[in-house]
Amino acid sequence: MLKRIHPGIIALFVQITAVVLIATVIVSQTAIALSLFEWSLLQGLTAGLLSFALRMPVWWIPIHLGFLPLIVVALALHISSTACLALFLGLLLIYGKTYKTQVPLYLSSNRVTQALQALLPESSRFSFVDLGGGCGGLLSHLAEKNRNGVFHGIEAAPLPFLISKLRSLFGAKNCAVTWGDFWQQDFSQYDVVYAYLSPAPMTALWEKASKEMRPGSLLISNTFIIPGVAADKSIQLDDFSNSTLYLWKI
């Protein structure tokens, strides 16, 4: 049943439950006298354990451990509220949609760019889409090197989109970037569809790709497999995150 609940809601439940538990301990006894920071560490520990008990993905545990203690530290540092607001707005413009997409921003490495370039046709015309183009680095490099291709990036997050738009305006003319949701895009117009997403959308991505992509076209996923669908080829790369490119010929 928990699988059907959004992880953000479960995380909120974990944090609130841990706060209530620790607050109950604080008000119901006088024997243990800890500082606010120490209580916040206990809250973090409780939240981490709860997250583990609820079988949230392991990377939630450090988030739960550090969430409240870091707030206490930030309050003690008296960081200006304007700086906090600016930081919050910046993060919102980059990661705000992650709540819905479950795909945060992280960037393909240079090794990935080189490996993709080696896979693209040398002289014949082709079209390439980067699903969730991020800040447009991958796309602009590929467009610069492969003038025989037409490159398209679709990005949902406002700030990365703005950066990639500026890059495309001042960069190679065979590269275009649009703001929007790639689920609304028809994949049949592309020869190569590139995705660097997360485990969450991969099954749905395969359903869409196998319905819309043309026979002979290529789906490439950086790092994330499609459950139950063996890739036709995989390329292991020696970069900082040990990326693997998975290729499916439609």
Ligand X SMILES: C[S@@+](CC[C@H](N)C(=O)[O-])C[C@H]1O[C@@H](n2cnc3c(N)ncnc32)[C@H](O)[C@@H]1O
Determine if 37 is a binding residue for ligand X (CB under 6 A): no
Contact 139, 175 (CB under 8 A): yes
Q: Are 179 and 157 in contact (CB under 8 A)?
A: no
- The residue within the footprint of ligand X, chosen from 134, 175, 187, 220 (CB under 6 A), is 134
Q: Rounded to the nearest 5°, which phi and psi values hold at 59?
A: -70, -10
* 247 phi and psi angles, rounded to 5 deg: -120, 135
- Which region among 42-50, 84-92, 102-110, 237-245 touches ligand X (by CB under 6 A)? 102-110
Instruction: Say whether residue 176 binds ligand X (CB under 6 A).
Output: no
Contact with ligand X (CB under 6 A) among 10, 120, 129, 157 = 157
Provide long-range contacts, Cβ within 8 A and 24+ apart, for 211-216. 212/186, 212/187, 212/188, 213/187, 213/188, 213/250, 214/188, 214/250, 215/250, 216/249, 216/250
Which among 157, 193, 153 has a CA at the least distance from the CA of 172?
A: 153
Distance CA 28, CA 51 (A): 25
Closest separation in Å from C-beta 222 to ligand X: 6
By CB under 6 A, name the one of 44, 69, 160, 171 that touches ligand X.
Answer: 160
Nearer to ligand X, 105 or 231 (CB): 105
Does residue 245 interact with ligand X by CB under 6 A? no
Query: Distance of CA 117 to CAs 110, 145, 154, 236, Å?
Result: 11, 8, 19, 15
CB 68, CB 12: distance < 8 Å: no
Of 130 and 191, the one with the shorter C-beta distance to ligand X is 130
* Shortest CB 65 distance to ligand X, Å: 24
Whose Cβ is closer to ligand X: residue 133's or residue 171's?
133
Residue in 41, 129, 142, 156 binding ligand X, rule: CB under 6 A: 156
CB of 103 to ligand X, least distance (A): 4
d(Cα 64, Cα 41) in Å, to the nearest integer? Answer: 10
Q: How far is the CB of 146 from ligand X (least distance, A)?
A: 16
108 binds ligand X (CB under 6 A): yes
| Contacts (CB under 6 A) with ligand X, residues 38-97 | 97
Q: Does 15 bind ligand X (CB under 6 A)?
A: no
Closest Cα partner for 66 from 29, 24, 11, 2? 11
Per the listing, tokens 């890739």 go with 231
Decide whether 48 or 191 has the Cβ nearer to ligand X.
191
Our finding on whether 243 is near ligand X (CB under 6 A) is no
Q: Which residues bind ligand X (CB under 6 A)?
A: 97, 101, 103, 105-108, 130, 132-134, 137-138, 154-157, 160, 181-183, 196-197
